[in-house]
Amino acid sequence: MATQVASYHVLVYGGPTGYQTNRAQIQLSDAAGASVAWIRFNDPGMSFETDYESDGFIRMHLPSAMFQPVLDLLRNEDGTYIYFTAGRAFLGTASEPIGEGE
């Protein structure tokens, strides 16, 4: 089941190894303010976990190169959703008409 993302919170970890194998994290929350997912980012060479869901909470893992595109999506798109299926987390938008613009 897809959950609509209503807000997000960004953490960036310093130091040569980041924090718990991650360089940065974006926490996603639903309309009620409940945390529904973490999107964690890893630099090349860092330990890279697989996506998983536990008790309805999603953990998505991406390379650090995806940090800015994900942040742009959250900043600019209305109707953003996250869900977990087939052993992977997915972040996407609702359908939009062609030529809508920003």
Mean pLDDT on 58-82: 95
Residue 45 — pLDDT band, cuts 50, 70, 90?
confident
Domain segments of the chain as ranges: 3-93
Q: What are phi and psi of 65, to 5 degrees?
A: -60, -20
Lookup: tokens for 89: 């987390």
How would you classify the pairing of strands 52-54 and 35-42?
unpaired
Torsion of CA 27, 25, 47, 21, to 10 degrees: -110
Percent of the chain with pLDDT over 70: 95
Q: Please state, in angstroms and rounded to a whole number, the distance separating the CA atoms of residues 33 and 41.
A: 23
pLDDT > 70? residue 100? no
Would you call 9 helix, strand, or coil by DSSP? strand
pLDDT at 83: 96
pTM over 0.75: yes
The encoded tokens of residue 79 equal 């109707």
User: What does the pLDDT read at residue 98?
Assistant: 72
